[in-house]
Structure 1
Amino acid sequence: MGVINTIGRMFTPQNTMFYDMFEEISETVEEMGRQLKELVHCHTQEQKTIIASKIDDLEHENDNSTHMLLTELSRNFITPFDREDIHALALSLDDICDGIYASSKRIHLYKVDTSDSCIMKMADLIQEGTAEVARAIRCMRNKKTVKQMTEALVRINSIENQADDIYDLCIEDLFNTEQDVKTVIKKREVYQMLEKTTDEMEDAANAIESIIIKYS
């Protein structure tokens, strides 16, 4: 990358624009994490229907925001960091939202008992993880907050590891204790989608870490 382009990155309005857009998307990611936790912890199907609808709306909102960001990426030659890093981070955030939406949809449609300890623990971890993703993204525009950003990324990696352990234990317990085949199929699919969502959070953390390494 040439010196002119590097200097240009530091002073162009596009820098602020991309940071603003990522922060807006991260707010949606964080809100979807909160709504998923609320969905899992509420007690009536009517409440679950309302919350599932909110998550659906947020997922569509995120799709629009991601489309706008990628459109701006295609229009702007000068960006605050590498185009491939912007693209990777945008898609990883979108994948988190897709995972939360897919988890919510299955929980709602299958009428899965959300008092299940695995589902509750995984939803709690996703809520924590989405908050850390949003925290890391808010720190991106200021190099003085690299320490806080790194702490958030370490926390996301820890959450993903915890989710892996919970998933393995819950799958084992499900096959050992549940007699109804339909319930096994439904719960296993929900477990898998929740665990996959924590993987997507780690992918977002890796995308942010790549940016830190290049530009801090």
Structure 2
Amino acid sequence: MMLFGNIRSQQFYELLRQATENAAQAAAMLGRLLEDPALFSELGPAIKDLESKGDELTHSLFERINKTFATPLERGDLAALGVAIDSVVDAMEAAAARIGIYRVQNSDKHFRAFAQILRAQATELVAAIDLLAGGKLFDIGERIRQINTLENHGDDELRLALSELYDQAASDPIRFVTMKEIYETLEEATDQVETVANTLEGVIMKRA
């Protein structure tokens, strides 16, 4: 039996699916930007548009929650999922914005690593929401584990990036400050994806 089996319930699924696809598009664009920061004039506004779209989808989800008597999941869980997914895109847009603000022109191995991590997390997130809609709750566990593992890789990448930055801080303190902020914002984006995974895990535990 599908959690989103009837037409009205399916509408909740569609909004969550659109939100996760929006996050995946943001991850793809941010990945391109991290691989080539010189593309900011093209990709920065596009990512900002996706952030605005995410806000609209979250608003639509809340409206539907408030107007629907019987929801396919607890109202609090639906709301928490919507907010968490939106926060993923917010964090990605914040990282992209900083690349533009600080006029970053060149990529590095840490940018490229975060690009891979965020793209992979977004892919797992879309798959997890599909499984949720199909009522395949126990299959979501593997997607959650993958997201958590990728978040741990993000933690490791941040530590490595900051360590290397520190070694160069004396010779270029401005770069240390600006790049530290960007790296930390990228790691925050991986944390936000993990928050969605943790919210999904809570849903599974309630229905187990």
Both structures adopt the same fold (TM-score exceeding 0.5): yes
Match of 1:189 in 2: 181
**Alignment TM-score, normalising by the size of structure 1:** 0.89
C-alpha distance 157-10 of structure 1, shift in aligned 2 (>3 A):
closer
Structure 2 partner of 1:4: none
What amino acid sits opposite 2:20 in the alignment? S
> 4+ residue runs of structure 1 moved beyond 3 angstroms?
9-13
TM-score using structure 2 length: 0.92
Question: Which runs of structure 2 are paired with 1:82-93 in the superposition (5 Å)?
Answer: 82-93=74-85
Deviation at 1:112, TM superposition (A): 2.1
For residue 18 of structure 1, what is the aligned residue in structure 2?
12
Deviation at 1:13, TM superposition (A): 3.4
Inter-CA distance 16–10: structure 2 relative to 1 (3 Å threshold): closer
CA distance in 2, matches of 1:62, 1:109: 22
* Superposition map of 1:1-80 within 5 A: 13-42=7-36, 45=38, 47-80=39-72
Contact kept in structure 1, 2:4 and 2:72, CA below 8 Å? yes
- The one-letter code matched in structure 2 to 1:39 is L
Aligned length: 205
Calculate the aligned-residue CA RMSD, in Å.
1.7
Contact 1:140–1:146 under 8 Å retained in 2: no
Amino acid at match of 1:139: L
Letter of the structure 2 residue corresponding to residue 93 of structure 1? I
Q: Which runs of 5+ in 2 are unaligned?
A: none
**Contact 2:27–2:92 under 8 Å retained in 1:** yes
Residue-by-residue CA offset, 1:70-117 (whole Å, 9 max, x unaligned): 111111121001111111111110110000000000012212244222
Partners of 1:112 and 1:186 within 8 A in 2: no
Give the partner amino acid of 1:163. G
